[in-house]
Amino acid sequence: MTDPALHPTYRAMQVIAPGVLELVEREPPAPGEGEVLIGPATADA
């Protein structure tokens, strides 16, 4: 597992209009009490 302190932000693509994407930088969400944070899974080609 990676240390979240090494990656305080992440980059994501968001749709701002039909056919238009924007690269944004965000802070990872913090789960509230009684919640868990589930990360994405990846697969090798």
Give residue 8's pLDDT: 82
- Domain coverage including residue 10: 1-27
Q: How far, in Å, CA of 40 to CA of 12, rounded?
A: 12
Residue 12 falls within a domain, yes or no? Answer: yes
Look at residue 45 and tell me if it is in a domain. Answer: no
Cβ pair 9, 27 in contact under 8 A = yes
What does residue 12 show for φ and ψ, rounded to 5 degrees? Answer: -145, 155
> Is the residue at 40 inside a domain?
no
| pTM greater than 0.75 | no
Classify residue 9: in a domain, yes or no. yes
**pLDDT tens digits for range 1-45:** 556 567 688 899 999 999 999 999 999 888 999 999 888 787 776
Q: Are 17 and 9 in contact (CB under 8 A)?
A: no
Q: Residue 2 has which token pair?
A: 């990676």
Residue 43 lies in a domain: no
Residue 20 lies in a domain: yes
Q: Quick one: pLDDT at residue 15?
A: 97
Residue 6 lies in a domain: yes
Count the domains in the chain. 1
- Is residue 21, in this structure, part of any structural domain at all? yes
Instruction: Please tell me the distance from the alpha carbon of residue 42 to that of residue 7, in angstroms, as a whole number.
Output: 18
